[in-house]
Amino acid sequence: MLVRLRMLVAGESHGPALVGILEGLPAGVPVTREGLARDLRRRRLVAGRSARQSVERDDVEVLAGLRGGATLGSPVALVLRNAEAQRWAAAMDPFVVDDAAANAVRVTRPRPGHADLAGAKKLDVDDLRAVLERASARETAMRTAVGALARALLAAVGVRVTSSVRALGSVCAPDLKLPFDERAARADASPVRCVDEGSATNMLAAIDEAGAAGDTLGGEIEVQAEGLPQGLGSFAHADRRLSARLAGALASIPAVRGVGFGVGFEAAARTGRALHDAILDIDGHRASNRAGGLEGGMSNGMPLVLRAAVKPLAMVQGGVDSVDLVTGATVDGHVERSDVTAVPAAAVVAEAMVCLVLADALLEKFGGDTLTQLRAHLGATGHRLP
């Protein structure tokens, strides 16, 4: 998925911390404390989240790789401390686990739709705690923080990324054609990241209704990016196609079940004449953008448009029919604590993953050990720099 950048995220949902390392950023990229905090806040403070979001503050610490508000060109190391870690310390101790504490949080009832059962078979365990602690979407908090570093690089060369919610449950928002700045502002101002106010109101009502019924909701998200140069990615190598890398990045997010570009799956029902975007001049301008800024595995200079389908969360109050791994008895799936929906939060995580792939593709094509060098290489192609 990443060629020039390398990312590693470690940590359990109830462990002491999440740790993230991003290697490959050039020196001199401006990074602010608020820039890191902003994306984490946008992921956490959206509608449909569980009470845990009022506990976890997601205050990111920088351990290495930054000095004076700029990258050093060395690996950047980040830490997010878990606020509940002390309460779970006896059950999650890395060396000696207290038996009573471990039994108190032991889980033997896998949740349909979750990693629980397949993970237990993979690891040959009957305590699902060994699986669910890492399979939890909690780790996407660190992906969001690392993605903010990539966003800082993109911003320094004039590339911007935003996200919105197109649908939540049965509520579908109209496809509004908005300028990038207005779309981003509307999404950030909405508790469900929907750019249409009327639809946002209906989405909030749907969340309340599902929450009262002990159920969960899925939906569809969209990520847009503008300011990309043409030719990022490859038409010659399958694993370096920008479309493949972006699809893999979005599909790596827990609960994402489908990824589309431009008009997405609607493309399958259209004829070629009705789908493909006519080329207006030798610079590649188009009258439409149904391809979503991607052709032949490469960016084509038009705004990038990605869509992803997000399934309802697996943790349903009351549980879905399952079996106990120890007794074999028919039981309800495990219930610990759950959001009603992760769709608005998934949109922000998707932004982070797109930022990482785009930053990686820029570095792959234009290189540079410093931001100054990268900007010079981009500027030599006629790319408009901020």
**pLDDT 10s digits, 270-296:** 999 999 999 999 998 999 999 999 999
Which tokens in the block code for residue 189?
A: 């101002």
Task: List, for residues 93-111, the tens digit of each pLDDT value.
Answer: 999 988 899 899 999 999 9
What CA–CA distance (Å, rounded) separates 342 from 166? 14
pLDDT at position 50 = 59
Identify the band that residue 51 occupies on the pLDDT scale cut at 50, 70 and 90: low
The answer to whether the CB of 82 falls within 8 A of the CB of 100 is no
Q: Which of 128, 118, 140, 120 is nearest to 255 (CA)?
A: 140
pLDDT at site 230: 97
pTM confidence score: 0.95
Average pLDDT over residues 15-22: 97
- Kindly state the DSSP code that residue 78 receives in the 8-state scheme: E
Q: Counting Cβ atoms within 10 Å, is residue 188 exposed (0-12), middle (13-18) or buried (19+)?
A: middle
What is the pLDDT, as a whole number, of residue 27? 98
Closest-CA residue to 62 (of 73, 43, 76, 42): 76
Contact 161, 355 (CB under 8 A): yes
- pLDDT tens for each residue of 355-370: 999 999 999 999 999 9
Rg of the chain, C-alpha, whole Å: 22
Q: For residue range 156-185, list pLDDT tens digits in order.
A: 999 999 999 999 999 999 999 999 999 999
**For residues 172 and 184, what is the distance between their CA atoms, to the nearest angstrom?**
18
Q: What are the structural domains, with CATH classification, of the chain?
A: 6-379 (3.60.150.10)
pLDDT level of residue 339 (50, 70, 90 thresholds): confident
The chain-wide mean pLDDT, for the chain, equals 94
